[in-house]
Amino acid sequence: MINNSIKKINFNNKFDKISKYWSPKIIAELNNYQFKLAKFKGDFIRHHHPETDEAFIVIEGEICIEFDNKTEIIKSGEMIVVPKGVPHKPYSKKEAKVLIIEPRGVVNTGNISNELTLSSHNWI
């Protein structure tokens, strides 16, 4: 890789390009892992990822992740790792801005396929 292609990424500049909720966009790759930005608002579906852990870092606002026996509230400046296979339902009352880190090729709705499922993730 040529050094000229190495550039810092500003989260807010990228978030300005995202209009749709629950639609993660790729901003960077680290080996075979991807960094994706997403805006959360309202309810996502309960799902799990059979093959991988998933990390959420909250950049602005706060999100809730409902597990079987508790709900974690994650705010700006906080992160959580949801382990492989653990059912979780993300939701957010107000708009929140989130950085997601997971391996390339992960389906956003995990084991569930519905109208929220994205067939592919675009770069911004």
Interacting residue ranges for a second copy, rule: CB under 8 A: 1, 3-4, 6-12, 28-31, 33, 35, 52-55, 57, 59, 67-70, 72-74, 77-84, 86, 99, 101-103
Shortest Å distance, C-beta 113 to a second copy: 23
Of the candidates 25, 57, 24, 63, the residue with the CA atom closest to the CA atom of residue 43: 63
CB closer to a second copy, 74 vs 96: 74
CB closer to a second copy, 18 vs 28: 28
Beta strand 78-82 with 89-103 is: unpaired
Shortest Å distance, C-beta 62 to a second copy: 10
Give CA–CA dist 99/11, Å, rounded: 9
Give CA–CA dist 27/50, Å, rounded: 24
CB closer to a second copy, 16 vs 113: 16
Shortest Å distance, C-beta 86 to a second copy: 7
Distance between start and end Cα atoms, the chain: 20
CB within 8 A of 119, min separation 6: which ones?
Answer: none
Shortest Å distance, C-beta 48 to a second copy: 12
